A and B are shown apart, each in its own frame.
Chain A
């Protein structure tokens, strides 16, 4: 609307014959005209696409509606974090899919970050063998498409590992077979809540302790082994409370049934393959980002730190990494987004993520292609926006505070 009004006003003023040309030559008006034209084209394009979709749906005799989300899904899902049966609705199936995507993305991001920082730092170490082994790992991994990593790891699990009856086992409680990794299932007894409370209390104590230690360090220069003490508190305190409250925890050890291991928690091969492949693949990119971040800090910083007598670990911890993080975080965010989106390759091995549930079986069984794909797209968009928002917040927090 504003575009039309704008052009109308131009015409009224235009008395001189070369007025339009003069408008065009004026830098400011030209940019406004171009912007209006771009917007108009964009809207025309969108209108065309939507019109095309509506028309084609009408020709096929299909309606556009999300009612199907309330109908029973009628199919089963092998990995579900919430209650779900074949009588649950398509909406519930979608939630199961969302949680499965979130699960693999969450664990993938954590593992990729840990591995990535390790690789990145080892890559810069003075140990020739270590740095070159990591160099080979990085080059090998990042030059092969992630889909092949997923298929390779899945293939190894399914074809190389033995069947459940001959499963590799650790102390007869952890089993590894071609049906996945099965671990004992913890059953929490009465009074376990004390341990949980102790755990959160430990976190609180650690935060307080870290602040105090920092203050002491800044005032007096005394350094406490914060990491080790924190670790001690984090595990020691809940464990102590756990013992005092009478060990209210029972492990249900998996047993061999007729076909499968019964009881315990099983990580299915599809989850393992996707998780490991995405972590490994993304970690080598993170390694290079970490390396770039560290190398971006000028040599003078190292030399200055050495001059005041700091050890290599301390230099990294106190001087280099805090500065390097400012370089590392923005590209790291992209890697997290990539990992999350790459998780949709789950379809290749039948991991029941969003694409396989609502964008796959539900879509197929109801014939609601348009609606299902809109849902899948919006869900990925939400995932990405949440991750971006979190990383941007973190980026602002660590950015250089000028004094």
Chain B
């Protein structure tokens, strides 16, 4: 009887969502990170079942800051459609799933978008044998899209603006879209250009496929948290900035400890906790940023290892270079 009563009591006290994600994560000892169900280079599982990729590594960086161990991450794979529901129902603490920052999502869907980790744009991939050189020639084509994404809306806008017709084939995940594209269910597949490059890298003959020159949208991709928990948003925001600042200051996974000891550069000392207590202000400890960098390296290391030119995905830094190199990646000062 007592069990029944306590069960009923527990049920009726069931959650009211509120602030305090940091406490929840610390108490749990594990970060629940919402990632893509499978996008090579960004978040995917390798043969041993380990989550890998640009987004997956950022989850680990965040876990290192909050829980103290970059491996204490529970990856929650989500489709374009389920990701926000998973976040709002508190299944996940943060989304690192190539999610585009838009006005409606930010303002009306009540999500909090944090610094863009990857500046992207939407493109098209098509078989070279179809003889198409520009997206404007796609009149009457069948187009595969991931449903529930901004790409679906951009696609409708682009074809409307150019007064050409198309037949959409809505698909749940990148993997399904890849299969349908390869089976020629659709003439072309459209998603973020980074995703296209990553997907093409998995084809048997990547050379038979062309990514069309048109980039039809702006897709700033970055982490997302629930609206209304500013402390947690600050932690995720400054974790990303720590990665960028680390690249700027030349701090890598290998030399982070040494750089922390060397007090000649006050910017570095403040971030790595050997001077002042920035970590304490976030509700973390002094060494948080050092752990972030030691976990998966700085921004450049994460980028090059997962999607850089030497990987099969083969993306150039482009817009994602540091501002000092003509890109857009820029961190406010740690002070």
Contact = CB atoms under 8 A, between A and B. Distances in A.
B78 to A, nearest CB: 12
Contacts of A262: 140
Interface string B1-21: 000000000001011111000
Given A260-B140, A260-B142, A360-B81, A78 B18 contact: no
Contact of A260 (B14, B18, B167): B167
A364 interface: yes
B228 interface: yes
Contacts of B17: 56, 59-60
Given A61-B110, A159-B183, A350-B170, A75 B141 contact: no
A75 B139 CA distance: 17
B228 A260 contact: no
Interface string A238-261: 000000000000000000011110
Given A60-B226, A364-B148, A350 B16 contact: no
Interface string B136-150: 001111100001100
B105 interface: yes
A366 interface: yes
B184 A259 contact: no
Interface residues of A, number: 40
Interface residues of B, number: 47
Interface string A39-69: 0000000001000100110011110000000
A365 B108 CA distance: 10
A63 B171 CA distance: 30
Given A86-B156, A178-B184, A259 B130 contact: yes
Contacts of B130: 259
Contacts, number: 110
B135 to A, nearest CB: 13
Given A178-B184, A260-B142, A350 B169 contact: yes
Interface in A102-124: none
A367 interface: yes
B140 A75 contact: no
Nearest to A348: B172
Nearest to B12: A48
B84 interface: yes
Contacts of A367: 84, 104-105, 108-111
B155 interface: yes
A33 B226 CA distance: 46
A369 interface: yes
A262 B141 CA distance: 11
Contacts of A55: 16
A142 B51 CA distance: 38
Contact of A86 (B110, B157, B169): B157
B35 to A, nearest CB: 18
16 contacts: A56-B16, A60-B110, A60-B227, A61-B228, A76-B168, A78-B169, A86-B160, A158-B185, A178-B184, A260-B141, A348-B172, A350-B171, A360-B148, A361-B170, A367-B109, A367-B111
Given A60-B17, A360-B148, A365-B153, 16 more contacts: A56-B15, A56-B16, A60-B226, A74-B153, A87-B160, A159-B183, A178-B183, A178-B184, A178-B185, A258-B139, A258-B141, A259-B138, A259-B187, A260-B141, A364-B147, A367-B110
